[in-house]
Amino acid sequence: MNSKPKTKNSKLVAALLDWFAANARDLPWRRTRDPYAIWVSEIMLQQTQVKTVIPFWNRWLRELPTIEAAAKAPSEKIHKLWEGLGYYTRVRNLQKAAQVVVEKHDGKFPEKYDEVLALPGIGRYTAGAICSIAFNQPTPILDGNVIRVLTRIFGIAENPKDKQANAQLWQLAEVLVQGSNGNCSHLNQSLMELGALVCAPRNPQCLLCPVKKLCVAFAENRTEELPNLGKRDAATTRNFFAFLLEHNGKFLVRQRPAGVVNAHLWEFPNAEVGGNQTEAAAVFQTEFGLAPEKISLLVTVKHSITRYRITLSAFAISVPTLPKKVVGVWKSPTQLQLLAFSSAHKKLASAAAKSILSGR
């Protein structure tokens, strides 16, 4: 009996599924089909590496094991559980979505793709990931990893952000998951996994790749040029001064307002300064309306957010009298540990605690 010749797509699906069965990493969220647990992992994994996410995911599920618990948790708690993961809009949307699931779906995570997509913070990729991984539905996914894998395998030279190329990639992702013979969850995860482990942005491991015989980029030696992401925005340097103002063993901190970057997180008073503004004492005086008695550089933290390369210089400050108008609250080093800070300001909180211990 003659069987139909295999198409490129069916060979691709078979090779990906075989490879995934033998090589998938044992990740904690892969041991469950609970859509809530999978959803939390997908949100945490946006912009964040797997090894960073694992302890955060374990702690979140331990502290907030159900959708109801996530819906009801105090804002301070969810921010503290997310502290260090960054992009905090994610956690606020996660809680809003949990509240919608409780109110509209009796606390049961919806299975219909459109209902999942309608939840706050869930876009096309995340809805596709949850529906395929938790419910084994043939819903496509397209994130950075999958874009890289597909543009290389199919030799797509256009920028994947361009409308037409993007639509073509979604279409390919859909065709593949629909052709997976009911292995939707594994097929989608195999694309992500191949992008994470083998088809890396730089120096992809083509010789070890299960789909090298089907890959246009490998055959044509174009792995370096694909995907064609266009020109990146140039990095921008920004400088901030932060002030660790201490009074009776407590430090002044304040909470960032809603609607700004790192909203609701805590921070030490700080100000952005121009490149040639080097007088921290003068900046402090402008902010607080009095001159410091003593000022010394305690720690410098460098970090990046999107295209910004940020240098945060933190100064220990003594003042003859307290400033008249201070915005914020005074907290001891022990109390600071209970607050959710951005990663950079968390380092300042540790420096503040050490400075008290050393009597600086």
- Of 309, 240, 306, nearest to 269 (Cα)? 240
What is the nearest approach in angstroms of ligand SF4 to the Cβ of residue 86? Answer: 28
**Burial class of residue 317 (count of CB atoms within 10 Å of its CB; 0-12, 13-18, 19+):** buried
Q: How far apart, in whole angstroms, are the C-alpha atoms of residue 196 and residue 216?
A: 19
147 is an interface residue for ligand SF4 by CB under 6 A: no
Q: How far apart, in whole angstroms, are the C-alpha atoms of residue 50 and residue 47?
A: 10
Give just the sign of the alpha carbon dihedral 320, 321, 327, 329: positive
Among residues 42, 83, 246, 267, the one annotated as catalytic is: 42
What is the nearest approach in angstroms of ligand SF4 to the Cβ of residue 168? Answer: 17
CB proximity list for 133: less than 8 A, separation 6 or greater: 38, 42, 185, 188, 189
149 is an interface residue for ligand SF4 by CB under 6 A: yes
Among 45, 61, 127, 153, binds ligand SF4 (CB under 6 A): 153
Amino acid sitting at position 120: P
Q: Restricting to residues 318-357, which ones interact with ligand SF4 according to CB under 6 A? A: none
52 or 159: CB nearest ligand SF4 = 159
What is the nearest approach in angstroms of ligand SF4 to the Cβ of residue 202? Answer: 11
223 is an interface residue for ligand SF4 by CB under 6 A: yes
What is the nearest approach in angstroms of ligand SF4 to the Cβ of residue 21? Answer: 17
What is the nearest approach in angstroms of ligand SF4 to the Cβ of residue 191? Answer: 10
Count CB atoms within 10 A of the CB of residue 72. 14
197 is an interface residue for ligand SF4 by CB under 6 A: no
211 is an interface residue for ligand SF4 by CB under 6 A: yes
Among 96, 212, 264, 303, binds ligand SF4 (CB under 6 A): 212
Question: Is residue 340 within 8 Å of residue 80, measured between CB atoms?
Answer: yes
DSSP string, 257-305: PTTSTTTT-EE--EEEE-TT---HHHHHHHHHSS--SEEEEEEEEEEEE
24 or 102: CB nearest ligand SF4 = 24
Among 110, 128, 204, 227, binds ligand SF4 (CB under 6 A): 204
217 is an interface residue for ligand SF4 by CB under 6 A: yes
Q: How far apart, in whole angstroms, are the C-alpha atoms of residue 309 and residue 98?
A: 34
Contacts with ligand SF4 by CB under 6 A lie at 149, 152-153, 198-199, 204-206, 209, 211-212, 215, 217-218, 223
The residues that are catalytic are 42
